[in-house]
Amino acid sequence: MKVLSIQSVVAHGHVGNSAAVFPLQRIGVEVVPIPTVAFSNHTGYGAWRGPLLPPSDVADILLGVEERGVFPQVDAVLSGYQGGVGIGDVIIDAVARVKAANPDALYACDPVMGNAKSGCFVAPEIPVLLRDKVVPVADIITPNQFELGFLTGTEPADISSTLASVDLARAMGPSTVLVTSVERPDRDEGTIEMLVADPAGAWLVSTPHLPFKANGSGDVTAALFTAHYVQTKDAAVALERTASSVFDLIDLTYRSGERELRLVQAQEFYAAPRMQFKAEQVR
């Protein structure tokens, strides 16, 4: 399996491709990483150095990869944080060219905008770009609950309203929607959930909620789910494998006392997920 991953790169820490590439490689996936920014660290520190790549440079890198004959081998295109407005058109064009070379290839978009606690942390134009241009051409999207609400103009809360929001998102174009953080009022205390829906149904998985903000965990989640879903064609299995690996990664990081994900130290959790969480079918 080969994934073309168009995301940010940081020198210190693990977000974007600096979070997604290694877990994918550890489960046997060949990754073609395309950088959109090259920063010293993620922006959560409040200060960083390095360039935001012009869309023309990203397009040029993609063209070079295409000229090497790679696009027919690509099984999935993955995109995450989009630093600038013009990058959306570059991604959409790359997806079209990959699908022309391999009609079976899927496009997974992580529509990174923000979260309920921090609000929106991207440029104001980015959420509109994602909603109106990028998400409609995706096969898989992996929003958190906050991002799902923006995309659909709703306020998902309980299972019923979240499923309704997911249906609206699927009507925009993607056939598969993974909601990466569902915090419904009636969930078990001390838990957080993920929900996935595709043409076969909808499933919910619950894990313990750790009091820890792990930058990059969403990037790992999107990458692993995409790979497992493409390989198994089973949303419930992909959800269970992803939830198992990501929980153990976050738990290991939390117990280490470190700020950045213990991405390398957790590698066995990607290669051999413990499968300690069972997905419950909710539709």
- pLDDT for the residue 119: 66
- pLDDT for the residue 212: 86
CATH no. for residue 54? 3.40.1190.20
Domain span including residue 118: 2-281
**Residue 114 clears pLDDT 90, i.e. is over it:** no
- pLDDT for the residue 125: 81
The mean pLDDT value for 225-241 works out to: 98
- pLDDT for the residue 118: 63
pLDDT over 70, % of the chain: 98
Q: Mean of the per-residue pLDDT values for the chain?
A: 95
**Residue 175 clears pLDDT 90, i.e. is over it:** yes
Digit-coded pLDDT (tens) for 35-48: 999 999 998 899 99
**Residue 90 clears pLDDT 90, i.e. is over it:** yes
**Residue 76 clears pLDDT 70, i.e. is over it:** yes
The mean pLDDT value for 104-128 works out to: 82
Q: What is the 3-state secondary structure (H, E, C) of the chain?
A: CEEEEEEEEECCCCCCHHHHHHHHHHCCCEEEEEEEEEECCCHHHCCCCCCECCHHHHHHHHHHHHHCCCHHHCCEEEECCCCCCCHHHHHHHHHHHHHHHCCCCEEEECCCCEECCCEECCCCHHHHHHHHHHHHHCCEECCCHHHHHHHHCCCCCCHHHHHHHHHHHHHCCCCEEEEEEECCCCCCCCEEEEEEEECCEEEEEEEECCCCCCCCHHHHHHHHHHHHHHHHCCHHHHHHHHHHHHHHHHHHHHHHCCCCCCCCCCHHHHHCCCCCCCCEECC
Counting the structural domains of the chain, the total is 1
More reliable by pLDDT, 191 or 116: 191
The mean pLDDT value for 14-20 works out to: 97
- pLDDT for the residue 127: 85
